[in-house]
Structure 1
Amino acid sequence: MSARGPFRRRTVRPSTFPGAASDPAPARRVARRRRALVPALAAGLLLSTLVACGGGGSAGPATVNWYVFNEPSGSFTKAAAECSADSGGRYRIKINLLPNDSDGQRQQLVRRLAAKDTSLDIMALDVTWPAEFAEAGWIRPITGPAREEITRGTLPAAVDTGTWKGQLYAAPLNTNTQLLWYRKDLVPNPPKTWDEMLSQAAALAAAGKPHYIETPGAQYEGYTVLFNTLVSSAGGSILSLDGKRVELGEPARRAVEAISSMAHSPAADPSWSNQHEDDARLAFETGHAAFQLNYPFIYPSAKENNPGLLANLGWAQYPSLVAGQPSHVTIGGYDLAVSAYSKHQQSSADAVTCLRGRDKQIRNAVDGGLPPTLVSLYTDPAFINGGYPFAADIYEALRNASVRPKSPAYQSVSLQISSTLSPPSLVDVGRLGDLRGRISDALDSKGLVP
């Protein structure tokens, strides 16, 4: 809305006004009409101001645009409709679908934010993006009572994903972590270590039974997640805590050796170097594998696509690299953030609180396989018995979770990891030197930018 309002003042010169000089009576009548017109103009100005600023009832609810990926079960669509209804007419949430792959999602959001697009209100951010978006000034910090409400009862690891430099910028919508999924008819006792998993797969292969271990291995973010999980599970990290230095010590060597040992064993699916999460799910559902390292979305999928498999589907903690030590699986999920350029800051903030409400998180988990961020749900019998029987295992994995390297340059860091260590069959410890140099360049903005 212009600061000058919708009206322009037009000056009428006395010399051009009819009868202004020769007829004082008409002049007085004109003056009276002008005085009477002032209140009407003022009322019109006030009404136009309210409409332009969204403050009048006639303007209707504010349209809050939520940019989010397509959730096939429809739980996001239902949440948007419910929150719109619950707002009492203050706002209406409109879903704008982003591409299904995270790279495409980020690209579309970055382009709009760089152009200061005011139609962008709420964004679903992959947990690796808040640092970058906050550093760029694209998202608003969450402070005061709103921060207290969002963090109260929320998994600390999930809160950490939306935090940058000690400030909360994004509210956890859902979290995510991987488990070891296996066929109970083939694997009576799930393996506890990486080497034990490979040995069991080799034994099944020798017996002519399904034996593959399905997990992402293509050159993309899912492969970076695998490497980060293995490095963390070996007791190390890719970057320093402040995100400014490359680590990659002895734990990175053990991680590379774990990938190489699987790539050169019968456990490796021939298409491993091309697999994404969904490819791993399909391969497991069609009966070609005995194991799968993947997210819990595979459970509702198996329930719908292969009920026979569901009866034999078991789950356990991700196999460790260090005997007797828990694995540290990379946390995933999405956070909700309000654009710094949104015209509906308060409505958007209120909508964020509603969209991540308890009932919404339950539906996201049961129907869509997206783990909740509220601690209390993981011990809620109604939630567990209502379609989330592996809640305790997910919670244990989240308590031991690791995060991906926090840095505004994370996209470049991830790209260097997935490209340098691909394909899995050619990985060896000799590549770690190149990887250290490339990540260091990425941190200094010298590396390849996606």
Structure 2
Amino acid sequence: MAERSGGISRRRWGAAALAAVALLGPAAACGSGGDGGAPEINVYYAPEENFQQVVDDCNQQAQGRYRMVYQVLPRGADEQRVQMVRRLAAEDDGMDVLGLDVTWTAEFASAKWIREWTGKEKDEASQGTLQQPLESASYEDKLYAAPKNTNTQLLWYRSDLVPDPPKTWDEMIKMSQDLKSQGKPYEIDTMGAQYEGLVVLYNNMVASSGGKMLSDDGAKVEFDQGAVDALGTLQKFASAGVTNPSFTNTQEDGARLQFQSGDGAFQLNYPFVWPALQEGAPDLKDKVKWARYPGIDAGTPSKVTIGGYSLAVSSYSKHPAEAYEAALCLRSPEHQLFSAINDGVPPTIESVYDDPKMDEAYPFKADILAQVKDGANRPITPAYQNLSTVLSATLSPPADIKPDQDAKDLRGSIQDALESKGVLP
């Protein structure tokens, strides 16, 4: 999932990281008001356990102006994208509101599959919304989606082993090695498999180094010294003897389970690990605390990649006015609060974090908010899917990275990825 935030109930947040599961094919798109009644708005969105309740509430609020139907996409982000791309390429008019992973905005906008948000709809979607999620929903300075939820990784650590959390990667590696030499739990558990999660890990290091992979307009490869330095940081971490033996096969839920087994001193992962820890590791839950994700330099706070989903309106929708209204209802403050508490997806509207109901579900809400406000997006380009594939292949296995040589190779392969004409994987 890699920060591609689907949703699950608080009791089942751990399942959010299971990317390789059987596809849940959505029901065929129903008619759109063809019987002369209220327009039917088809909402294509990732599996989220309590999302149907949000849909039902919005339908009630619509008072007959339209009726939304929740079309459940596959759980895996890649499968979601492929399904929507194929239907949009065929100009399918049975799709109205689309749930987009934050990395897809540029691709869908450049292909003219989604409508720009303008006027009062843009104003409402932007009001009070955090800047980084807004940037992820924009392309070429135009808003193409309304951010529904965001996400970010925190540093989770064993306070019985580490009284004060590390601020940098070097400090964390040294603490882990010291614990290992003492025969204590020492692992730094995080995602190292060849997939999007590894790209996110690397992007965190690039952003925290002040580096860039692409030019500001996303059209050309840059891959500056900060990006090269981040290759060195990733290689050092992977070869320092502080990871789980299965690091190069580990995704989000695997990292959670490794940490919960008792071998980990640190975990870099999404907030779903917290409720899972409360239920799955009673011996550990009171020993685990959280802190800001580690940075590169002790004097410079880390910048962590944000995830999440936004709601776009299909260019082929027969009822765009109702689709905009429906999308705004689905991501309203009241519904973002509901989804945050019940489905574990952090809000994109800043004021929601102030609601007292967030305190129990998100005791770490201040840390999430701080990281999202100071967070980093992945490179914004219509060719992101190609770029991600190139990066994950080059970065794997991380212990074998040769910073200067790999940087040289990536400058060429990333530029090739940016110039690809294809939109399907």
Does the TM-score normalized on the shorter chain lie above 0.5?
A: yes
C-alpha spacing 1:417/1:210, structure 2 compared with 1 (3 Å): same
CA apart distance, 1:367: 2.5
CA apart distance, 1:340: 0.8
1:344 pairs, out of 319, 325, 332, with 319
| Amino acid corresponding to residue 305 of structure 1 in structure 2 | G
CA apart distance, 1:399: 1.9
Pick which of 142-151 and 342-351 moved more: 342-351
Pick which of 418-427 and 277-286 moved more: 277-286
CA distance in 2, matches of 1:209, 1:162: 44
Structure 2 counterpart SS, 1:321: coil
CA distance in 2, matches of 1:447, 1:238: 21
CA distance in 2, matches of 1:269, 1:150: 42
C-alpha spacing 1:303/1:168, structure 2 compared with 1 (3 Å): same
The residue that corresponds to 1:143 in the other structure is 118
Structure 2 counterpart SS, 1:349: helix
**Contact 1:298/1:369 (<8 A) preserved:** no
| Amino acid corresponding to residue 413 of structure 1 in structure 2 | L
2:385 pairs, out of 411, 422, 431, with 411
CA distance in 1, matches of 2:423, 2:115: 28
CA apart distance, 1:53: 8.3
Unaligned runs of 5+ in 1: 1-51
CA distance in 2, matches of 1:200, 1:241: 37
Q: Identity rate of aligned residues, in percent? A: 48
The residue that corresponds to 1:281 in the other structure is 256
Structure 2 counterpart SS, 1:286: helix
CA distance in 2, matches of 1:301, 1:368: 13
The residue that corresponds to 1:256 in the other structure is 231
Structure 2 counterpart SS, 1:309: coil
CA apart distance, 1:376: 1.4
**Contact 1:297/1:368 (<8 A) preserved:** no
CA apart distance, 1:408: 0.8
The residue that corresponds to 1:362 in the other structure is 337
The question of 1:421 aligning with 2:395 is answered yes
1:102 pairs, out of 61, 77, 90, with 77
The residue that corresponds to 1:310 in the other structure is 285
CA apart distance, 1:186: 2.0
CA distance in 1, matches of 2:423, 2:144: 27
2:45 pairs, out of 68, 78, 89, with 68
| Amino acid corresponding to residue 415 of structure 1 in structure 2 | T
Structure 1 counterpart SS, 2:103: coil
The Cα offsets for residues 365-422 of structure 1, whole Å up to 9 and x where unpaired, read as: 2232211011112333x03423211111111111211111111111111111111111
The residue that corresponds to 1:205 in the other structure is 180
**Contact 2:44/2:99 (<8 A) preserved:** yes
CA distance in 2, matches of 1:391, 1:265: 32
| Amino acid corresponding to residue 423 of structure 1 in structure 2 | P
CA distance in 1, matches of 2:290, 2:300: 18
The residue that corresponds to 1:43 in the other structure is none
| Amino acid corresponding to residue 66 of structure 1 in structure 2 | V
CA distance in 2, matches of 1:70, 1:53: 22
Structure 1 counterpart SS, 2:357: helix
**Contact 1:228/1:237 (<8 A) preserved:** no
CA apart distance, 1:447: 9.4
| 1:49-128 correspondence runs (5 A) | 54=33, 59-71=36-48, 74-128=49-103
Structure 2 counterpart SS, 1:414: helix
**Contact 1:64/1:92 (<8 A) preserved:** yes
1:393 pairs, out of 347, 358, 367, with 367
> Of the two structures, which has the highest relative contact order with CA contacts closer than 8 Å and spacing of 6 or more?
2
The residue that corresponds to 2:12 in the other structure is none
| Amino acid corresponding to residue 175 of structure 1 in structure 2 | T
Pick which of 91-100 and 345-354 moved more: 91-100
**Contact 2:391/2:410 (<8 A) preserved:** yes
**Contact 2:33/2:40 (<8 A) preserved:** no
Structure 1 counterpart SS, 2:284: helix
The residue that corresponds to 1:440 in the other structure is 415
C-alpha spacing 1:285/1:89, structure 2 compared with 1 (3 Å): farther
CA distance in 2, matches of 1:447, 1:87: 39
- With the length of structure 2 as denominator, give the TM-score of the two structures: 0.88
CA distance in 1, matches of 2:312, 2:283: 40
**Contact 1:300/1:367 (<8 A) preserved:** no
Unaligned runs of 5+ in 2: 1-30
CA distance in 1, matches of 2:131, 2:370: 13
CA distance in 1, matches of 2:303, 2:278: 28
2:132 pairs, out of 113, 137, 157, with 157
The residue that corresponds to 2:28 in the other structure is none
2:163 pairs, out of 188, 210, 218, with 188
Structure 1 counterpart SS, 2:210: coil
Structure 2 counterpart SS, 1:315: strand
CA apart distance, 1:449: 6.5
**Contact 1:63/1:93 (<8 A) preserved:** yes
The Cα offsets for residues 63-94 of structure 1, whole Å up to 9 and x where unpaired, read as: 221111112xx221211111112211222222
The Cα offsets for residues 293-317 of structure 1, whole Å up to 9 and x where unpaired, read as: 1111222222333344332221111
User: Rg larger in 1 or in 2?
Assistant: 1
| Amino acid corresponding to residue 133 of structure 1 in structure 2 | F
Structure 1 counterpart SS, 2:277: helix
**Contact 2:156/2:268 (<8 A) preserved:** yes
The question of 1:376 aligning with 2:336 is answered no
**Contact 1:143/1:168 (<8 A) preserved:** yes
| Amino acid corresponding to residue 100 of structure 2 in structure 1 | L
| 1:36-51 correspondence runs (5 A) | none
Structure 1 counterpart SS, 2:268: strand
CA distance in 1, matches of 2:398, 2:423: 21
CA distance in 2, matches of 1:227, 1:294: 14
CA distance in 2, matches of 1:53, 1:222: 38
The residue that corresponds to 2:144 in the other structure is 169
